[in-house]
Structure 1
Amino acid sequence: MHPMLNITIRAARKAGNVIIKSYENPASVKVDNKGENDFVTNVDKAAESLIIETIKKAYPDHTIIAKESGITKGSDDDVQWIIDPIDGATNLIKGIPHCCISIAVRLKGKTEVAVVYNPMANELFTATRGQGAQLNGYRIRVNNVKDLENTVLAIGFPYKQKQYSDSYFNVLQKLFTKCADFRRTGSAALDLSYIAAGRIDGLFEIGLKPWNIAAGELILREAGGILTDFAGGNNYMASGNVVAGSPKVVKDFITLTLNDWPDRLKC
């Protein structure tokens, strides 16, 4: 096992224990509003603190980019840990057992190690660059579907960017004539991991953040999938506009929907 993967798994499992205890005791979950439709809980902060503490013990010189506490520069900025302590925090707030810890390790701008862990289901998705993706130690692969016909697609509504609602629902309507069904789970990192495991066939979403994408991207790619922006390019980390799936699903999606997005969302 890659030494940084071992530390990443350890950090994710420690944070997972915090999340499970909070889920079992809903009264202990305290919610703050960071902005419109943007929530943070005491559980996010506690889980993130534990993840950072675990990483820093092993790699004190590395840079950390965390959802709640921001950037902690290390003396070795070539290695960056990108952390989302709870992707799907709204689900936790509502008592829905579907959320995850997402941790990625990037070396000179390329993700080398990734962990997405759903503590409620005890499902650990992992990947190391060039060595494939796994779920609880077993190799996973994307579904080898030819096009959008009969696919099940994960979606995420643009609840923080409602100015794009018309474009979004036009695309959704067009896709609905092609695919079999949609799923809205509330966790992009788990959606990407589910595509990698063949549970769903694709995803599109507007306005994701790097900590939503980084770990799931490597897991997806190591399982044979791809991730692009809405024009088929590589600007998704900056824009947060993501389409993911098998190469054929992504190509079919872009061909079908490219002209439905305003230019500012295509990259």
Structure 2
Amino acid sequence: MNPQLTIAQKSVSKVSRLINQIFEQTAKLSQAQREETERFDIFYAQIETEIAKEILYAYPDHTVETKLTGVHGPAHNKSYWYVSGIVGKQNFLGGNADFAVSVAYMVDDKLMAGYVYAPMSQKTYMAVKNEGATLNDIRIRLPRHSGRISDALLLTDARSLRKENVMMTAHLHHLSLGVRVLGDEALSICEMIEGKASAAWLNAFDPCDHLAAVLIAQEGGALATDFNGNEVDISAENAAFATPKLLKPLLQSIHQAKR
């Protein structure tokens, strides 16, 4: 296995039992208690700190940026990690098992390795640049598509249900076979590469949450761009994922809906 993926797997395995324990305890809380997100943030920070500590133990000269706890290790490093302790926070708090841990590794702002782990289903998605994408060590690749949006099942993020985005979501739902919101963008993108959907779009892009899934998508045969067709990078504000044939119709439909 790629050495960076080995470290990602090792670091996440050390916190997976803790994640499972907290998830089981959270499921027993009342709705009011679940809305006290300060308790979740303490746990979230603990996960990210432990993952960062393990990465820096192996690579003390690297930099690790986590979603909640910020930068660990030396700053402004060409070897850079992006970590999210839980992608799909609302699912986790609601007792929904669709959440994941995300770890991405970059060198000179180029994605080199991506690791997404779903603790409850024990699904491990991995990718190494130019080596393809896998699910539990089995190669996965996005199936071919006709390129017609009317033949596409789409996935998106929870922001698509907000007032400012709901008209666009309704438009895409009308044009396609349907739109689904799973509540975990990283898992949504990975499951798309499995063939469970045709394309996906995100109204907001977060490097810690999404970069690992970007590489898994790219290595699994999808294109990953922002809404203007530029390749996704750490500065992206939004993102779209699809086969080469389907990407242009998807982006055109998004822009039509925004008019």
Instruction: Report the TM-score when normalising by structure 1.
Output: 0.87
Equivalent position SS for 1:219: helix
Partner Cα distance (1:63, 1:151) in 2:
39
What are the Cα deviations for residues 62-104 of structure 1, in whole angstroms up to 9, with x where unaligned?
0111011112242781100100000011111111111000000
Equivalent position SS for 1:49: helix
- Paired residue for 1:53? 53
Partner Cα distance (1:75, 1:181) in 2:
43
8 Å contact from structure 2 (residues 172, 179) kept in 1? no
Quick check: 56-65 or 202-211, which moved more? 202-211
- Paired residue for 1:129? 129
Please list, as runs of the form range in 1=range in 2, the aligned pairs for 1:93-132 lying within 5 A after superposition: 93-132=93-132
What are the Cα deviations for residues 112-164 of structure 1, in whole angstroms up to 9, with x where unaligned?
011000010000000010100000000000121122223221122327x95xx
Equivalent position SS for 1:125: strand
Pick the aligned partner of 1:238 from 222, 227, 235. Answer: 235
- Paired residue for 2:212? 215
What are the Cα deviations for residues 206-245 of structure 1, in whole angstroms up to 9, with x where unaligned?
1221112210000000000011111212366424211112
Partner Cα distance (1:105, 1:236) in 2:
13
Report sequence identity in percent: 23
Please list, as runs of the form range in 1=range in 2, the aligned pairs for 1:3-152 lying within 5 A after superposition: 3-26=3-26, 33=37, 40-74=40-74, 77-146=77-146, 147-152=148-153
Equivalent position SS for 1:4: helix
- Paired residue for 1:258? 255
Partner Cα distance (1:23, 1:12) in 2:
15
8 Å contact from structure 1 (residues 114, 216) kept in 2? yes
Partner Cα distance (1:151, 1:11) in 2:
37
Cα RMSD between the aligned structures? 2.3
- Check if 1:203 corresponds to 2:200: yes
- Paired residue for 1:153? 154
8 Å contact from structure 2 (residues 114, 212) kept in 1? yes
Partner Cα distance (1:235, 1:214) in 2:
9
Unaligned residue ranges in structure 2 (runs of 5+) = none
Unaligned residue ranges in structure 1 (runs of 5+) = 263-267
Equivalent position SS for 2:115: strand
Partner Cα distance (1:80, 1:30) in 2:
33
- Paired residue for 1:265? none
* Aligned residue pairs, count: 254
8 Å contact from structure 2 (residues 241, 247) kept in 1? yes
- Check if 1:170 corresponds to 2:171: no
8 Å contact from structure 1 (residues 15, 101) kept in 2? no
- Paired residue for 1:249? 246
Partner Cα distance (1:103, 1:255) in 2:
31
Following TM superposition, the consecutive aligned residue runs of length 4 or more in structure 1 with deviations greater than 6 angstroms are 28-31
Equivalent position SS for 1:115: strand
Instruction: Report the TM-score when normalising by structure 2.
Output: 0.90
Equivalent position SS for 2:213: helix
The offset of 1:171, in angstroms, is 2.1
Quick check: 175-184 or 39-48, which moved more? 39-48
Q: 1:30 to 1:170 in 2, by over 3 A?
A: closer
Pick the aligned partner of 1:185 from 175, 182, 192. Answer: 182
